[in-house]
Structure 1
Amino acid sequence: RAWGWRIPFALGAVLAVVALWLRRQLDETSKHETRALKEAGSLKGLWRNRKAFLMVLGFTAAGSLCFYTFTTYMQKYLVNTAGMHANVASGIMTVALCVFMLVQPLFGALSDKIGRRTSMLCFGALATLFTVPILSALQNVTSPYAAFALVMCALLIVSFYTSISGILKAEMFPAQVRALGVGLSYAVANALFGGSAEYVALSLKSVGMESSFFWYVTAMAVLAFLVSLMLHRKGKGLRL
């Protein structure tokens, strides 16, 4: 329908109002409290927190790679590798991503119960164990329902990361370098790993080494697991 394109914008407008209301209910760290510190927002201050920076860089690299693999690249994978019709693949991904969106609060609530560290360990361990089996099974899948089930399994694993990634990264840094630490590590990791996922996957496929991409994602999941082992069991208790 000619008016269909307006629906996402209308929903976005409604959600923007909700987001604004939620934002106004949150406490903000005092500007005076952070800016009074000599190293606030500086690279020197970030250097003092280099361990946190490298940890965030590590699990963001793995998390963003897994996220982009099973979201933006997956539609092309279903078409180019599984041989599905583009409309069928798009339908599968549309429904899967809607469910993925809806389960984020549930996984966030679960993290509040079991802890950030446990959630990240679940993500790293499950992604390590199941990335290759899921992608391999999708190569030969013929049923759209089976494909949907496999994609959802992958997205549920990724949800252990995506549901808490923002708050976890913020908790890693003190207030005076939080914006710089989170922003820089996130940008670098996404640019190098998440953003390049599709390019790497298609490049390996073009030279007959598609399965190598599966192991690349798995190796990064191992990195996420190892970095997660270094997280504090109960968090730092930072005032956000």
Structure 2
Amino acid sequence: MIENRAPPAPATAQIQRPLDRRDMRTLLLSSLGGALEFYDFVVFVFLALPLSELFFPRDTPPWLAQVQVYGIFAAGYLARPLGGIVMAHFGDRSGRKRMFTLSVFLMALPTLAIGLLPVYAQVGLLAPLLLLLLRVVQGIAVGGEVPGAWVFVAEHAPSRYTGFACGCLTAGLTVGILIGSLLTAALGARLDASHMLAWGWRVPFLLGGVFGFVAVWLRRWLDETPVFVELRERRQLSRSMPLGVVLSQYRGSVAVSMLVTWMLTAAIVVVILMLPSLAQRVFHVAPALAAQGNVLAALGLSLGCVLYGLLADRFGALPVLLAGALALPVGTYALFLDLAAGGRLFLPLYALDGLLVGVVGVVPVVMVRAFPSAVRFSGLSFAYNVAYAVFGAGTATAIGWLAARAGRMAPAHYVAITALVGAATSLWLMWRRGTRQELA
């Protein structure tokens, strides 16, 4: 059950003013910084093949080397809760802006360092160990970045534009994935395998480090959120450990946030990250066509995040979440059924499904409003990062279990299950809102 024991949000957060130039600057700089940081986090997976050849012994079977690289990639996800909890604690006690800037700085350093790492042939076992360490630091950084960014833009924007603000920020994160995909694809097209192994793989990481420091510089121009400033002036900051308050008084809010995050992880991981390889391996789609479809889906997702955010501001977050959660399985089943029939409409249906995945842009609106401002960063960060670590890491296993029983439509079934959970959660919250809960 979502509790309602905290003092009301500061009045300044509720002023129904229009978006001004300062708000738009904050959204632009925050979204751009988020894109650059998320690029740093995901570019690793696009370079899994050269990393698997360079950071393990030459006699390692290729499949085992790739499994080990993906294991190092997954370590970043497992480290996210730690970073989220620590940064959120200080974000609720010392200020949102400080942690918002620190997270991108902590991402830039290891990304740059990965681009400078010696490989296995030079330092032996130390090479994969250093890669693992730097990947963990990346996970710690992104664990504070994503929830911190949502809280930051939501507390800056006028309350009636929270959906638009969160949607723009989420779209910016998606652009980071797209930049990583396009850059690595361009390098692969222009460099042969020997040059890619010799130095080409380093370029995206070195650029990512530079991008990260640019983002740190950009965030110097951002102001602390009005909500935090007023909490500090009124001396309403949490005197206890913020996460302790969350776990003792807002367990219902944590549960709700984890459930809607499950839908978010399934939609992103299955439709955006896994589908290109599934389309090639299971449905025999040509690699170039799968890559083209993925670009269209990512663009659709970016547009969808903003569109759903605008709809949430117009009609309320919960009704839009409900409608989007019901539409998502329809688009996903249409895409997979077309693939099973030969994929004649693969590109338009993949773009459409990416647009429908944009419902994830409403998820942060629900989570931001589930926690009072004094512990908002800690509550949102804990719920989001723990859920992402659990459900994100378990997606492949869950789909494998479903595939043994439902065949190659298993990914669509998994997305549908999580979408129905999201729809049920929104219905429950709408019912709770009738008992003095204002989450829409």
Quick one: distance in 1 between partners of 2:228 and 2:214? Answer: 25
Quick one: distance in 2 between partners of 1:80 and 1:89? Answer: 11
1:4-53: CA deviations, max 9, x gaps? 95997599569838963784384241363576434451324432111111
Q: Is the 8 A contact 2:321 2:423 kept in 1?
A: yes
Quick one: distance in 2 between partners of 1:104 and 1:11? Answer: 27
2:438 counterpart of 1:236 = yes
Q: Which has the larger radius of gyration?
A: 2
Select 1:118's aligned residue among 299, 319, 323.
319
Measure how far apart 1:203 and its partner are. 5.8
Q: Which amino acid aligns with 2:308?
A: F
5+ residue gaps in structure 1? none
CA root-mean-square deviation:
3.5
Select 1:72's aligned residue among 264, 273, 276.
273
Select 2:354's aligned residue among 155, 169, 190.
155
Q: Which amino acid aligns with 2:420?
A: V
Aligned to 1:101: 302
Name the stretch that deviates more: 50-59 or 123-132.
Answer: 123-132
Select 2:381's aligned residue among 155, 161, 183.
183
Q: Is the 8 A contact 1:52 1:172 kept in 2?
A: yes
Q: Is the 8 A contact 1:73 1:197 kept in 2?
A: no
Residue 36 and residue 59 in structure 1: after superposition, are their counterparts in 2 closer, same or farther (change >3 A)? closer
Higher helix proportion: 2
Aligned to 1:201: 399
2:261 counterpart of 1:60 = yes
Measure how far apart 1:221 and its partner are. 1.2
5+ residue gaps in structure 2? 1-189, 192-199
Q: Which amino acid aligns with 1:209?
A: G
Aligned to 2:287: 86
1:101-121: CA deviations, max 9, x gaps? 244323322221111111110
Name the stretch that deviates more: 124-133 or 75-84.
Answer: 124-133
Residue 115 and residue 15 in structure 1: after superposition, are their counterparts in 2 closer, same or farther (change >3 A)? farther
Aligned to 2:365: 167
Equivalenced residues, count: 235
Pick 1 or 2: higher relative contact order, CA cutoff 8 A, min separation 6. 1
Quick one: distance in 2 between partners of 1:22 and 1:57? Answer: 33
Quick one: distance in 2 between partners of 1:16 and 1:75? Answer: 30
Quick one: distance in 1 between partners of 2:251 and 2:245? Answer: 10
User: Map of 1:11-50 to 2, 5 A cutoff?
Assistant: 12=211, 16=215, 20=219, 23-24=222-223, 26-30=225-229, 32=232, 36-50=237-251
Quick one: distance in 1 between partners of 2:406 and 2:427? Answer: 35
Quick one: distance in 1 between partners of 2:350 and 2:221? Answer: 31
